[in-house]
Amino acid sequence: MQIIVQEPVFNRQLKGKAVRVVGFDVDGDKWNNLFLVKDVNGEMIYLVAFTGKVVSFHIEDFESEVGLKMTVIEEELTNGN
């Protein structure tokens, strides 16, 4: 029996970030949307669409080769702006 187990979890620093989710979830539903990360709780992530609808994903939705892909949208700072 393992004494210490390290399991994959979502990074809590994603909270408040804008993300794009693209691909198919474990139920076969297709996604290609922008969201704001409302909350992160271990293996679950809660996202808010710009329509106000809250959706949640389990980490397994992102673990397979054909699963969902998430990209953090970050603003690039340029000199003078």
pTM assigned to the model: 0.84
Which CATH number does the domain housing residue 55 bear? 2.30.30
- CB contact at 8 A, 66 and 24: yes
Higher pLDDT, 24 or 80: 24
Is residue 7 a part of any domain in this protein? no
- 26-60 pLDDT, tens per residue? 899 999 999 999 999 999 999 999 999 999 999 99
Expressed in angstroms, the distance from the first to the final Cα of the chain is 55
Q: 77 is written with which tokens? A: 């700072």
Is residue 35 a part of any domain in this protein? yes
Is residue 78 a part of any domain in this protein? no
| Number of domains within the chain | 1
Is residue 51 a part of any domain in this protein? yes
